[in-house]
Amino acid sequence: MAIPIKRIEKDFRLKLLFVDGTPIVYIRNKEQYTLTLDKLFKRQLVFKIKKPIEGLKVNQKLDLSFDFYGQILTFSVEVTGIKSRHIITTHPEFLYRDLDRSYYRVHAPMNLHMQFTYSGDRYSLSFPKVNEYLHISEEQFAKSIKYNSFNELVDQISTWLKKHSSNRKLVIFKDGLKPDTIEERLLVETGKSFYLPSSLGSLLHEDPYPKKRLITEEMFKQYLESIWVHPMFVDDTCDQFIKEKYIDGVFSDLWVPILFQEYVIGYFRIWTSSELKPPFSFDVIDSLYQYSTVLSSSLKVNGYFESGKMKPSSFKGSIFDISASGLLFTYPHSALVSSLLPDSELSITFKMPRRTVIAKARIIHRFIDNIQGFFGCKFIEMQPEDQRYLFEYIYGRPLTDEDTRFLAGRV
């Protein structure tokens, strides 16, 4: 029997549907249609469809489903309008859990207590912050660019920059230096790279990277509106911005932020001063992004951030629900909530009557309302025997071979 999801959790799930563009499935007359939530309002939803749904009419009911970390959720809405490739519907009264699959989220058992601690070193620094946490494992760091000392790394970066650009610049936001130019402010607000392939063209319309790392034309125009450029003049302002690059002798321009955890500590900028040189390729972007990551990691190794290192501290959140592969917890508004960012890793201690289990988890999503923050976590490390015990404790049944195969790709 399906169980309705409470209002607060329902709003959280719908928010993630909208933010992530999660595919939503609708089956009609044995044909499957894929929708995405394009707009989310208090009393109605707007879905985007890849192809028209044959026979769909206003006032018809749609039974929709989507996959939320291995958990199938369903909900029903009523069609109130159809416009080209968009469907307008009512807001669902409930989302439902389908409990036919063993790894669904359930309410945490009464005797299950949890304590959270940041995994790894955390820092409180005076650099600009972004709303995402950059996680770099020691393995990634070790397998990247090879060098024997920090000075050797700087020389290697300098040689590479000279080879691939007419002009180059390295900026670190220290000693009171703050973002000033439009590009700098965009970098510290988004944590993404500014890339203008050619000042004879336009900004990128789409970011080709799976995990988005470039500022698109749409993002640039949204920023202009945020600094009070009237929507009527946004296009002209964008065109003038690119034209001024050309006048200044900049033909291809790339700004890559140097990120450390949730901080933008500075950036690399390279540009060409000749129309005869080709635009920077995506290979150049990839290499400079890698250099920025290695430089950040090397600064940490050499103690550059040591004065801002925080002492380890634990906290207890309220568990919304839990599954064998992850959990959802809440925490009241506080300074802590602002530091619990996507990609942050936590160490979780599960205390049960006959066993204590320690696992590592990564925050995948977060949603903040007027009262508290909601944090969806995925388990990334747990001992097999602890995994089995936790599974049997929260579901009240033995772990089967099928369950083990499912969890192998998730923990």
Using pLDDT thresholds of 50, 70 and 90, give the confidence band for residue 100: very low
- Per-residue pLDDT at 406: 54
Position 370 scores a pLDDT of: 82
Q: Which residues contact 352 (CB under 8 A, 6 or more apart)?
A: 111, 112, 113, 389, 393
Distance separating alpha carbons of residues 385 and 14, to the nearest angstrom:
35
The 10 Å Cβ neighbour count of residue 72 is 17
Task: Provide the pLDDT for residue 103.
Answer: 53
Domains 3-97 and 138-307 are alike in CATH topology: no
Residues 26 and 14: their CA atoms lie apart, in Å, by 16
Distance between CA atoms of residues 351 and 21, nearest Å? 36
Residues linked to residue 358 through DSSP beta bridges, in sequence order: 349
Position 381 scores a pLDDT of 93
**pLDDT tier for residue 71 given thresholds of 50, 70 and 90:** confident
* Nearest alpha-carbon partner for 165 in 257, 70, 278, 61: 278
Other C-beta atoms lying within 10 Å of the C-beta of residue 282: 12
> For domain 3-97, is the CATH number 2.30.110.10?
yes
What's the whole-number mean pLDDT along residues 113-136? Answer: 88
Closest CA to 324 of 144, 88, 43, 108: 108
Alpha carbon distance 141, 358 (integer Å) = 25
Q: For residue 107, is pLDDT > 80?
A: no
How many other CB atoms are found less than 10 A from the CB of residue 62? Answer: 21
CATH fold of 113-122+311-408: Thrombin, subunit H (2.40.10)
* Pairwise CA distance, residues 50 & 35, whole Å: 7
Q: Work out the pLDDT band at 313, boundaries 50, 70, 90.
A: confident
d(C-alpha 339, C-alpha 357), whole Å: 25
Query: 3-state class of 83 per DSSP?
Result: strand
Beta-bridge partners for 12: none
The most confident of 78-87, 151-160, 264-273, 315-324, by mean pLDDT? 264-273
Residues, the chain: 411
Q: Over pLDDT 90: what percentage of the chain?
A: 52
Mean pLDDT of the 124-131 span: 91
pLDDT above 70 coverage of the chain, percent: 91
Angle between helix 384-395 and 401-408 (nearest 10): 120
Select the more confidently predicted residue: 104 or 164. 164
- Min mean pLDDT across 146-155, 246-255, 352-361 is at 146-155
Confidence of residue 402 (pLDDT cuts 50, 70, 90): low
Residue 28 has pLDDT above 90, yes or no: no
| Residue 246 near residue 255 (C-beta atoms within 8 A) | no
Q: Is the pLDDT of residue 411 over 60?
A: no
Mean pLDDT of 376-393: 91
Spatial separation of the C-alpha atoms in residues 1 and 100, rounded to whole Å = 8
pLDDT score of 31 more than 80: no
Give 298-313 as a DSSP string: HHHHTTTTGGGBPPP-
Q: Which residues contact 316 (CB under 8 A, 6 or more apart)?
A: 114, 115, 116
Please give the average per-residue pLDDT across 63-89, as a whole number.
Answer: 86
* Residue from 388, 189, 145 nearest 289 by CA: 145
pTM of the model: 0.71
CATH class of the structural domain 138-307: alpha beta
- What are the domain boundaries of the chain? 3-97, 113-122+311-408, 138-307
Confidence bin at 338 (pLDDT 50/70/90) = confident
pLDDT digits (tens, 9 = 90+) for 203-228: 999 999 988 899 999 999 999 999 99
Q: From its phi and psi, is residue 99 left (phi > 0), alpha (psi between -120 and 50) or beta?
A: alpha
Round the average pLDDT of the chain to a whole number and report it: 87
pLDDT at site 102: 39
> Which range scores top for mean pLDDT: 62-71, 301-310, 311-320?
301-310
pLDDT score of 111: 85
| Residue-level pLDDT at 405 | 59
**Closest by CA position to 346, among listed 138, 120, 150:** 120
What kind and span of H or E run contains 24? strand 24-28
Mean pLDDT computed over 16-24: 88
Find out whether 271 and 122 touch, Cβ atoms under 8 Å: no
Cα distance between residue 167 and residue 372, in whole Å: 47
